Structure 1
Amino acid sequence: MLRYLWDPANAITIAGLLFSSTSLFLALSERLELSVAVALWAVLADHLDGFVAGRTKGRDPDVAKMGASLDGFSDIVYGAVLPAVIVVQVSEASILALATATSLLLAGALRLSYFANFGRSHDGRFLGLPLSYDVPLLALLFLFKHVIPAQAFPDVVNIGFLLLAIAHVAPVRVPPPSATMYTAISIFAVASSVALVSRSL
């Protein structure tokens, strides 16, 4: 079982899961800005593992199949479980947070199950908004938290993620990121991570 982890792309996916685990620990420890900063590296790992997998020549089909399953588990952790936990923490376990967290988890599971069985559409587009948008939204919300009234911040977070949960399962076709967009996302993730860490120390 562990031999599948020697594959470079699968090793990167595991690194992403380790970032997600650390981020969850920080979220449950109520160090939310640090949690989001670390979660951004899980996003980077998710983007990088697909890039590496696509460029690994002669990749064993069984290794690729294992990698696809690992990637799906990684996506649900950093793209749904982690944001759900942070929403609950920000909202101090309110009933609205329960509704938001449940919506995120159900939408994430439904979307990834659909993608695992049917993949992209014939034109290469995704059905519904990918889960990789959730952590960047968290980063933006925490980066601009100082301009949002403190009492309104939990409501803004909940509304934002309820809308994202709907977008994840909405019948809209989303084009895959281009090389330029991948570069922009990577720069944003690194810069935002550094900014959030510097603010929380």
Structure 2
Amino acid sequence: MMSGTNLSEPSPSILSFAQDLPNICSLVGLLCAVLSMYYAILGVFSAAMIGLIWAVFFDWTDGIIARNMNGRNENQRNFGGQLDSLIDIISFGICPAVILLSYGNFSPWFLPGAFLIVAAGVLRLSYFNVFGLVGESTYMGLAMDNNAIILPFVFLFIGMLDQPFASITLYIILIVFAAMNVAPIKTPKLSGRWYYVLMIYSLLITFIYGWKLLISQAS
């Protein structure tokens, strides 16, 4: 039994938390990640990159909404924190692993890399859930959402390479990200004005990859 539960009060329903605005935003981000995985499996990597960057945007947005909402009770805050963490491992752990596997044509040689990406994500989020920030605005290790911010930009150049060199390059980059996620290094938490930078960046990435999609369909 979880501590802090009042036995005299009935437990709220699961779906009642889906009406909480920050959680709705989190679930929209999850949808973007699922779409990213779907298009990665289909080999439409431009669409996968668009889904990935918007998963980051909504992940940042849910926290901003939660911090500025009045009247949220402790259950809503705790539930939102758990939901956000679970969605993070899907969006920034499993999703990049699926992108790697698909880009490597689901070769068994890419399975170890996919496992390491997800394992690093699980370890990192578990550590954060226990210890939190180092100070007021510093993470231990590279935050996983940073992987998903950098990847769409890097992928623009990876796509210019010939196979199998492009697949190997992506493999190495994602393993480096995974290593940095669990490394004993301190990285700043991006917040405040960085949110507007992310918004502009997300729109720019969407425009670039959307244009690439239009060109590929026209050719």
Q: TM-score range by the shorter chain?
A: over 0.9
Deviations 1:114-171 (CA, angstroms, capped at 9, x unpaired): 1112211234311111110222232113322354344321111011011000000001
2:128 match? 115
2:137 and 2:40 map into 1 onto residues whose CA distance is 35
Paired-residue identity, %: 27
2:119 match? 106
Aligned partner of 2:15: which letter? L
Aligned partner of 2:102: which letter? Q
Deviation larger for 181-190 or 153-162: 181-190
TM-score (norm 2): 0.86
1:145 match? 158
The reply to whether residue 46 of structure 1 matches residue 66 of structure 2 is: no
2:181 and 2:57 map into 1 onto residues whose CA distance is 20
How many pairs does the alignment contain? 201
1:93 match? 106
1:121 and 1:146 map into 2 onto residues whose CA distance is 37
Aligned partner of 2:202: which letter? A
Q: Secondary structure at the match of 1:9?
A: helix
Deviation larger for 139-148 or 164-173: 139-148
Compute the displacement of 1:4 (Å).
0.9
The reply to whether residue 8 of structure 1 matches residue 21 of structure 2 is: yes
Aligned partner of 2:31: which letter? L
Aligned partner of 1:189: which letter? S
1:130 match? 143
Change (3 A) 1:188 1:18: same
Name the one with the larger helix percent: 1
Gaps of 5+ in 2: 1-13, 215-219
1:195 and 1:35 map into 2 onto residues whose CA distance is 13
Whether the 8 Å contact between 1:40 and 1:190 is mirrored in structure 2 is no
The reply to whether residue 173 of structure 1 matches residue 186 of structure 2 is: yes
Deviations 1:61-111 (CA, angstroms, capped at 9, x unpaired): 101111001101111111010100111111122344212111110000000
2:197 match? 184
Instruction: Give the alignment partner of residue 32 of structure 2, picking from 19, 26, 30.
Output: 19
Which structure is richer in relative contact order (CA contacts within 8 A, separation 6 or more)? 1
Q: Secondary structure at the match of 1:59?
A: coil
Q: Secondary structure at the match of 1:44?
A: helix
Whether the 8 Å contact between 1:107 and 1:168 is mirrored in structure 2 is yes
Whether the 8 Å contact between 2:158 and 2:169 is mirrored in structure 1 is no
1:122 and 1:141 map into 2 onto residues whose CA distance is 30
Whether the 8 Å contact between 2:39 and 2:48 is mirrored in structure 1 is yes
The reply to whether residue 73 of structure 1 matches residue 86 of structure 2 is: yes
